[in-house]
């Protein structure tokens, strides 16, 4: 069984670890921009498999120790 | 060390893939052909396919084929989203090129891809069981690239021939033949 994280917790992590980020819905997912990088593949669902969040964190350069405090890594 | 033990110890798997898509945009039609790199590993009881080139994409599945099919579907949906938000073909092409070539900030997956390939070469091992039936390709023979072509009535210098068709495929990275 793959672990999932509520979308609300992902938002809290972004607020706490990725100041100045931008997130918005697209037709098929969510687009997140931070630090000059764009991640186009965050799922649009209320519960998100943690692998997707881990990949977004690596892509955008979010501090992993910070993300762990929000159970997002 | 016996070859089988090397294979069993390999946790990261360097995968190469080839995809072609036909995408309608705002006033244009495009053909996108890419040769990319992904890293596969098991996490949380599932197989994950993490993008290396393009980097910003991930998909999971109960087995490697399922993970690839979901990765393939997500890749196409990203192209759909880019087309939706692009006013012109030039804008679309620029954004797709950025999506394909933008690396992860920490480059962790790319380093692991290179490290996994080096491990395979050092051990001269066979791909582990889930990958045994995949074709094998040498990365040197299939460099990563993306080609974005306009193929509508305003297209210039584009080849519209059956020989341009490319099948979806994924393969296990393997040493170049001696």
* Integer Cα distance of A32 and B43 in angstroms: 23
Note the pLDDT tens digit of each residue in B84-114. Answer: 999 999 999 999 999 999 999 999 999 999 9
**3-state DSSP assignment of residue B52:** strand
Residue B123 Cα, gap to closest chain A Cα (Å) = 29
Share of chain B above pLDDT 70, in %: 92
Q: Which fold has domain A4-68?
A: Metal Transport, Frataxin; Chain A (3.30.920)
Residue A33 burial (CB < 10 Å; 0-12/13-18/19+)? middle
Q: Which helix (H) or strand (E) holds A24?
A: strand A22-25
Least CA distance to A61: which residue of chain B? Answer: B105
Q: Kindly report the number of other CB atoms within 10 A of residue A32's CB atom.
A: 23
Contact of B53 with A59, CB cutoff 8 Å? no
Dihedrals φ, ψ of B11, to 5°?
A: -100, -30
* A63 contact B CB<8A: no
On chain A, the residues whose CB falls within 8 A of the CB of B81 are 26-29, 31, 40
Phi-psi region of B15 (alpha: psi -120 to 50; beta: other; left: phi over 0): beta
Record the tokens describing residue B155, joined without a space: 């297209």
Q: What is the ipTM of this complex?
A: 0.95
Residue A39 burial (CB < 10 Å; 0-12/13-18/19+)? buried
* A23 contact B CB<8A: no
Note the pLDDT tens digit of each residue in B9-18. Answer: 688 999 999 9
Of B100, B9, B7, B11, the C-alpha closest to B47 is B11
Contact of B92 with B86, CB cutoff 8 Å? yes
Confidence of residue B125 (pLDDT cuts 50, 70, 90): low
Residue B119 pLDDT > 90:
no
């Amino acid at each position: 069984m793959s672990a999932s994280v509520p979308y609300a917790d992902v938002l809290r992590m972004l607020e706490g670890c990725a100041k100045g980020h931008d997130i918005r819905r697209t037709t098929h997912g969510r687009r997140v921009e931070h630090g000059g990088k764009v991640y186009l593949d965050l799922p649009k669902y209320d519960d998100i498999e943690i692998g997707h969040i881990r990949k977004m964190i690596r892509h955008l350069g979010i501090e992993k120790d910070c993300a762990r405090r929000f159970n997002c890594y | 060390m016996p070859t089988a033990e090397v294979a069993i110890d390999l946790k990261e798997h360097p995968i190469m893939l080839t995809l072609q898509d036909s995408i309608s945009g705002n006033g244009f039609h495009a053909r996108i052909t890419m040769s990319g790199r992904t890293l596969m590993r098991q996490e949380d009881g599932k197989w994950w396919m993490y993008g290396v080139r393009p980097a910003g994409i991930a998909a999971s599945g109960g087995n490697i084929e399922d993970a690839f099919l979901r990765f393939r579907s997500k890749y196409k949906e990203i192209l759909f989203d880019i087309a939706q938000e692009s006013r012109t073909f030039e804008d679309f092409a620029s954004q797709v090129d950025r999506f394909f070539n933008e690396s992860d900030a920490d480059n962790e997956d790319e380093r692991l891809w290179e490290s996994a390939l080096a491990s395979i070469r050092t051990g001269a091992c066979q791909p582990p069981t889930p990958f045994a039936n995949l074709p094998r390709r040498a990365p040197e023979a299939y460099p990563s690239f993306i080609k974005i072509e306009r193929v509508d009535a305003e297209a210039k210098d584009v080849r519209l021939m059956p020989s341009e068709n490319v099948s979806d495929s994924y393969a296990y990275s393997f040493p170049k033949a001696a």
